[in-house]
Amino acid sequence: MPRTKVVLYREDDGSVPLLDWLDGLQPKVIAKCRVRIERLRELGHELRRPEADYLRDGIYELRVAQRGVNYRMLYFFHGNVAAVLSHGLTKEREVPPREIEEAIERRRKLEADPAKHTHEEP
């Protein structure tokens, strides 16, 4: 199976929300998040629970837990080209609707100008 290209969403000002979020996490959590991202690369649309889940309106979550805390990285697919990681959050019971709306808005911006809103890790 071909690997899925995974890119990060970049804001108008050049910041990358997922990287900013990861910077505030413990090293062990960051390592687990990187494993999930690699699994997304390997499996793409085939990635399922408990590692990932579909939320709504084309938005998915990568799921990480550490010491009872649930971390989520929201993402969407850009056609058949790539999976785009929008941003991350720490959640309680469910992903708040505003977080999903933010990912939907980021998808809209990326689709309008992919070059401007795509960040690729070296």
Q: How far apart are CA 30 and CA 12, in angstroms?
A: 25
Token reading at 22: 């990861």
3 touches 38 (CB < 8 A): no
74 has pLDDT over 70: yes
**Bridge partner residues of 83 (DSSP):** 6, 77
68 has pLDDT over 80: yes
Residue-wise pLDDT for 77-101, tens only, equals 998 779 999 999 998 889 999 999 9
Report residue 40's pLDDT band, with 50, 70 and 90 as the boundaries.
Answer: very high
3-state SS, residue 101 = helix
